[in-house]
Amino acid sequence: MNARPHPTMDAAVKPSRRLLSPGVSRHLTYGLFALPAIVLTGAITLVPGMLTLAASLTDWDGVSMPTWAGGANFHDLFADVAFWRAIFNNVQWTVLFLTLPMAGALLIASLLRTRTRIQALYQVVLLLPYVLSPIVNVIIWSNIVFDPVGGLVGYINHHLFPLADPLAQPSAALYAVAAIDMWHFWGYLAVIFLGAIRQVPEEQLEAARLDGAGAWQMFRFVTLPNITPTIGLMAVMVTIFSFLTFDYVYLATSGGPGFSTLVLSVLAYNSAFTSLAVGRAAAVAVVMGLFGVLASVAYTRLTWSGAR
């Protein structure tokens, strides 16, 4: 505790500096700086998150006192067809999102690399669907695109060939909802990939060109290795979000028809607010959280082994 005031310091303005050493005072201030964010995060997400962990082991309707149920919620869940259907749908969703939007975004981003004059314009155009609300996007698509009377589907059905509303068909509904969400999301990926591609060292590309590499070879052997970390990060993000996906499914179909578009988040939400089975909803949420943890661990493994 050796206070050594700087010669130019005006002691009358900062008397506290005399009581504490600069290091301690700095750490205290730093702690105070971070305090609001720490408290807010803890109070809103982490503490209620732990409460949910606890609630998953109880019978609770959200109003009266919860009663201990042990593993009964999980036991019931694992015996429920709807739960396994939801997991299967989440997996399908993940596979769809890891392939179509990723490939499309990579293609468009690499096409934009050499067209520098239209890059700024395309960033805006591609992000337009991304900055719109899921509510608006779902209403646009279900009314003006998928609607069998006043939509594009109705138009095609009337003038070109028979086509039914895909949202109403159990075999097509999941893909139709995913199509809306992918339309909304893929432009974001394209903008991120373009940002990464623009950072690929020009010398490497030039060297490959001088060696006679074609467009595909330059992409495969220069661009792709350079942006692999970004692709990996996006793949993990997409996987995590695919297991959390809620908005588009709930708004477009609420999980129906039947269980055809049911995903874990919708199952949890309906359990809590429709059936008032909060313990059961909590159990579903815990399973969702586990998938998130798994994806994060997989990513850490991936990046660590890749770096060695």
Partner 1 sequence: MKGPLVAVGRQFGNLTLLVAACFAVGPIALLVMNAFKPHVEIVGDPIAFPHHFYPHNFVAAWTEGHFATGLVNSLLLCGTTVLIVVAAAAMAAYPLARSQSRIWRIVALYFLCSVTVPIQLFLFPLYFVFAKFGLLGNVFATAVILAAINLPLSIFLLRTYIMTIPAELDDAAVLDGAAPFQVFWHVIFPLMRPGLATVAAIVCLAVWNEYLITSTFQQGEKNFTMTLGYLAMNGSISDDQGLLMAGGLIVIVPILLVFLGTRRFIIDGMTTGAVKG
**Which residues ranging from 90 to 149 are in contact with partner 1 (CB under 8 A)?**
104, 107-108, 111-112, 115, 118, 122-129, 131-137, 139-141, 143-145, 147, 149
Q: Which of residues 42-81 bind partner 1 (CB under 8 A)?
A: 43-46, 48-49, 51-53, 55, 62-63
**Closest C-alpha to 263, from 273, 248, 279:** 248
Among 88, 155, 175, 221, binds partner 1 (CB under 8 A): 155
Query: Does 25 contact partner 1 by CB under 8 A?
Result: yes
Least Å distance, CB 27 to partner 1, is 8
Q: Which of 59, 219, 268, 270 binds partner 1 (CB under 8 A)?
A: 268
- Specify the stretch interacting with partner 1 by CB under 8 A; choose among 69-77, 80-88, 160-168, 263-271: 263-271
d(CA 175, CA 100): 12
What would the x/- binding string for partner 1 be over residues 202 to 221, using CB under 8 A?
A: -------------x------
Of 3, 19, 24, 38, the residue at the interface with partner 1 (CB under 8 A) is 38
> Least Å distance between CB 235 and partner 1?
12
Q: Which stretch binds partner 1 (CB under 8 A): 77-85, 88-96, 165-173, 270-278?
A: 270-278
Q: Which is nearer to partner 1, 149 or 302 (CB)?
A: 149
177 binds partner 1, rule: CB under 8 A: no
173-197 and 224-244 are packed helices; what angle lies between their axes, rounded to 10 degrees?
150
Task: Please say whether the beta carbons of 298 and 98 come within 8 A.
Answer: no
Give me the least distance between CB of 28 and partner 1, in Å please: 8
Question: Where do we find the tokens 């720490």?
Answer: 38
Tell me which residue of 218, 194, 224 sits closest to 205, measured CA to CA: 218
Question: What is the C-alpha separation between 135 and 140, in angstroms, rounded?
Answer: 9
Torsion of CA 78, 269, 101, 194, to 10 degrees: -120
Q: Are 235 and 102 in contact (CB under 8 A)?
A: yes
Q: How far is CA 19 from CA 10, 228, 295, in A?
A: 14, 52, 48
